A and B are shown apart, each in its own frame.
Chain A
Amino acid sequence: MPLPDTMFCAQQIHIPPELPDILKQFTKAAIRTQPADVLQWSAGYFSALSRGDPLPVKDRIEMPMATQKTDTGLTQGLLKVLHKQCSHKEYVELADLEQKWKNLCLPVEKFRALLQLDPCENKIEEIKFLALGCSMLGGSLNTAMKHLCEILTADPEGGPARIPFETFSYVYRYLSGLDWDIPASDTESYLSSLKDSTRGEGRPSGRGDAGEEPPL
Chain B
Amino acid sequence: MQTSCGGRRQAAPGAGEVAVLGGTREALARPWHVTELGAWVPRVCDRRWTKQPRAAPEERGLGERRQHRPRKATLKSGAGDRRHLGGRSQKPEVPWRTGLPPKPASRNFPEVPLPAGTPGCWATGAGGAGGLSAAPSKPSVAPTSCPGDFPSRPLPFLPPLLASRNPCPWHYVHLFGSHDTFVATCFEAKLHRKRSGLTLGVACTLTDRASPAMDTYTYTSRPRALPCRRRRYRDDQMQRAEEPMCYGNIMYDRRVIRGNTYALQTVPLPGQPDPAEIQRQQEAKRRALAKKRAQEQLRPRTPEPVEGRKHVDVQTELYLEEIADRIIEVDMECQTDAFLDKPPTPLFIPAKTGKDVATQILEGELFDFDLEVKPMLEVLVGKTIEQSLLEVMEEEELANLRAHQRAREELRHVELAEVQRLEERERRHREEKERRKQQQWQVVHKHNETAQKIAAQAFAQRYLADLLPSVFSSLRDGGYFYDPVERDIEVGFLPWLMNEVDKTMECSMVGRTVVDMLIREVVGKRLSLYERKEDRHSSLKPEDGLSGPGGMRDPPVGYEFQDHGASQAQRPLPDTDSLQRTPYDARYMERVSSQDRKLMEEEDEQTNEEVLQE
Contact = CB atoms under 8 A, between A and B. Distances in A.
A79 B388 CA distance: 24
Contacts of A7: 367, 369, 372
Contacts of B405: 158
Interface stretch (B44-52, B96-104, B377-385): B377-385
B274 interface: no
A113 to B, nearest CB: 31
Interface string A147-183: 0000000001111100000000000000000000000
Interface stretch (A16-24, A123-131, A195-203): A16-24
A20 B388 CA distance: 11
Given A6-B363, A7-B369, A160 B410 contact: yes
B406 A28 contact: no
Interface residues of A, number: 27
A23 B384 contact: yes
A23 B384 CA distance: 7
B581 to A, nearest CB: 123
Nearest to B390: A28
Contacts of A3: 369
B376 A13 contact: yes
Contacts of B420: none
Contacts of B294: none
B403 A27 contact: no
A9 interface: yes
A207 B414 CA distance: 11
Interface in A31-64: 31-32, 59-61
Interface in B369-398: 369, 372-373, 375-376, 380-381, 383-385, 387-389, 391-392, 396
Contact of B410 (A10, A15, A32, A158): A158
Chain A residues touching B, majority SS: loop
A7 B399 CA distance: 47
Interface in B333-389: 363, 366-367, 369, 372-373, 375-376, 380-381, 383-385, 387-389
B382 to A, nearest CB: 11
A156 B406 CA distance: 8
B402 A156 contact: yes
B407 interface: yes
B376 A15 contact: yes
Interface string B186-202: 00000000000000000
Among A9, A12, A158, A160, residue most surrounded by chain B Cβ atoms (within 10 Å): A158
B404 interface: yes
A31 B402 contact: no
Contacts of A160: 410
Contact of B389 (A8, A9, A31, A60): A31
B431 interface: no
B406 A158 contact: yes
Contacts of A6: 363, 366-367
A10 B368 CA distance: 9
Interface string B406-428: 11011000000000000000000
Contacts of A13: 369, 372-373, 376
A13 B363 CA distance: 17
B367 A20 contact: no
B392 A15 contact: no
Given A27-B385, A61-B392, A157 B367 contact: no
Contact of A207 (B375, B385, B392, B410): B410
B363 A28 contact: no
B363 A157 contact: no
A28 B410 contact: no
Contacts of A28: 388, 391-392
B392 A8 contact: no
B372 A10 contact: yes
Given A7-B369, A10-B372, A10-B376, A157 B406 contact: yes
A15 B373 CA distance: 10
B373 to A, nearest CB: 6
A158 B407 contact: yes
A25 B384 CA distance: 9
Contacts of A23: 380-381, 384
Contacts of B387: 24
A20 B403 contact: no
Nearest to A207: B410
Contacts of A8: 366-367
A21 to B, nearest CB: 9
Interface of B: 363, 366-367, 369, 372-373, 375-376, 380-381, 383-385, 387-389, 391-392, 396, 399, 402-407, 409-410
10 nearest A-B pairs in the assembled complex, by CB-CB distance: A158-B406, A158-B403, A27-B388, A159-B406, A28-B388, A10-B372, A158-B407, A23-B384, A157-B403, A31-B392
7 contacts: A24-B384, A24-B388, A27-B385, A61-B396, A156-B402, A158-B405, A160-B410
Given A9-B367, A13-B373, 13 more contacts: A6-B366, A8-B366, A9-B372, A10-B372, A10-B375, A19-B380, A24-B391, A28-B392, A32-B392, A156-B403, A156-B406, A157-B402, A159-B406
